[in-house]
Amino acid sequence: MLFSELYKLRYLLLVELSLLILYALYDVVPVLIVISVILLSIILFSVFDRPILVVHFLIFSILVDAIVPITSNTRGPTLLIEELFLLIFVGLGTVKILLNLQKKIDIPTIILLWIPFLIWSLISGLAEGVEKLRILVFWKNYFAGFFALSYTYYAIKNKLNLKSVMIGIIVWGLCLSLIEIKILIELGGFTAGILGLFFKKNLLSVGWGKSNYLAAFFVLIIPITIGYLFHTKSKRLKFFLTVTLVFMSFALILTLSRGGILALLVALIILFSQIIKPKTLIPFLLVFFLITIIVLLNPLTYVLIDRISSIETSGSYFSRINFYRDVWYTFLKHPITGVGFGNLGYYAQFVLSVDSSSSAHNIVLGILGETGVVGAFFYFTMFGVFLRKVYVGFKTEKDESVKILRWSFFAAFTGALIHSLMEPTLEGLQFSIIFWTLVGVYLNFDILKSPDVQIN
């Protein structure tokens, strides 16, 4: 009897015995590797026929890296969890494309514009760039955005998929705000953490980004959260979204990002200019009251106001202005091809330090300097085509709640693009994935007209 039961469990026992032997011989690292392989196998098996899971796994893999402590600053490329997932899912997506070659696939204009941009920026960059590896590293970030957009667009099959990704990204924003609060507490407690941020805001950092970069995600997600709050009819979901807004607003203040705050203010002005009506006045006043209380009670608000008022005398302001000039001169010397992604620093006359970023801190100047007029034409045409689609969709929408949600996306994208004029956001791997995933979500908004599903 006993032996027959053990025989039924032979495969499980074999795995457990292997893990014990590996642990005894080589410590815990091989065990973690085996477990990781098993988990990846399960993930691949589960997502092959349910591509929407790829989107969720990809965006939440970013948070895994955010909670992994970085003990030392490293130079050059490092392998991150989301990069590993990106590599796996690109391979999976390629297999699925090969299996469906006979099927007719609708390709939106924005995806068609991505392809020549990626080809041009890679070829011209490798031809003109000083450091080829940096070009490949930064090109990968743009490719990740292309992949996130394309996979999200084709993975969403129904309203449940669409709303699950929107809610997933809102939950992602909540998790990021909780991670910030955790970092604040680890700085010595809430009071000591606030004091530390008062003297040095970049104490608030995760494995893949510091305060200004973290703020970019809230600039994008907060307007969409507000739009979904007005859109949904579920009282439980309204409560959850309200709580989420409280945490994300607090987290944004913790970043002390002047560019982030200003970009969000512009986005909210755009958002509320269209949704304040008699029916929505009370929810608007409630949201406005909550955000106002959070801002006024946060001790860092006064630090932020002082930083904004003294922006013209700050070192970051002058460093940007000087580097803008260098980037413009670099573009004039290489107007057609640019100098390649991540190579602008090699042409700069004004350098703050050896470790200073080579980013232009301005998406317009950056793309012009790195990819030339040809790359810039394809890249900015993408944004023009998409923003026009969002605006036309809003103007022609008949359903009032969907109309509000559409406009919240327009406000969010506008705020994100304004922020990219001051910070290197769209060229970052993590922000690129989140931003273009939301673009893929919006391209499927017509699905909202289909019969309702369980998620409200």
Give the long-range contacts of residues 300-305, CB within 8 A, separation 24 or more.
300/194, 300/197, 300/198, 300/253, 300/254, 300/256, 301/253, 303/197, 303/198, 303/256, 304/253, 304/256, 304/258, 304/261
Question: Which residue in the block uniquely carries the two structure tokens 């317009």?
Answer: 364
Give one DSSP letter per residue of 316-347, joined into a string.
HHHHHHHHHHHHHHHHHHSTTT-S-TT-GGGG
Q: What is the pLDDT of residue 317?
A: 53
Asked if 258 and 308 count as a contact pair (C-beta separation under 8 A), the reply is yes
What is the per-residue burial (b if ≥16 Cβ within 10 Å, else e) of 250-264?
Answer: bbbbbbbbbbbbbbb
What's the pLDDT score for residue 456?
45
For the chain, give the number of residues: 456
Looking at residue 310, its pLDDT comes to 47
CA dist., res. 89 & res. 131, Å (int)? 28
* pLDDT, one tens digit for every residue, the chain (456 residues): 445 544 555 555 566 556 556 555 555 555 556 566 666 666 666 666 788 888 888 898 888 877 765 444 444 334 577 888 888 888 877 777 666 666 667 889 999 999 999 999 999 999 988 888 889 989 999 999 999 999 999 889 889 889 999 999 999 999 999 888 888 777 766 555 555 665 565 667 787 888 889 999 999 999 999 999 988 888 889 999 989 998 998 888 888 788 888 899 899 889 988 877 666 556 666 666 666 665 555 555 555 555 544 444 444 555 667 778 888 888 889 899 999 998 887 776 655 444 445 677 889 999 999 999 999 999 999 999 999 999 999 999 888 889 999 999 999 999 999 999 888 899 999 999 999 999 999 999 988 876 654 444
pLDDT of residue 274: 81
DSSP code per residue over 415-426: HHHHHTTTS--T
Given 3-state DSSP classes, what are the helix, strand and coil percentages for the chain, each rounded to the nearest 5?
Answer: 75, 0, 20
Q: What residues contact residue 359 under an 8 Å CB cut-off, 6+ apart?
A: 342, 344, 366, 424, 427
- Measured CA to CA in angstroms, residue 214 lies from 56, 91, 206, 219, 341 at distances of 20, 29, 9, 9, 22
Query: What pLDDT is stored for residue 116 in this prediction?
Result: 96
Token pair 């406009």: residue: 407
* Contact yes or no for 241/229 (Cβ under 8 A): yes
* Rounded Cα–Cα distance for residues 446 and 450 (Å): 8
Note the pLDDT of residue 171.
92
CA atoms 321, 327, 328, 333: torsion sign: positive
- Of 340, 327, 334, 335, which is closest to residue 122 (Cα–Cα)? 340
- 280 C-beta neighbours (distance < 10 Å), count: 17
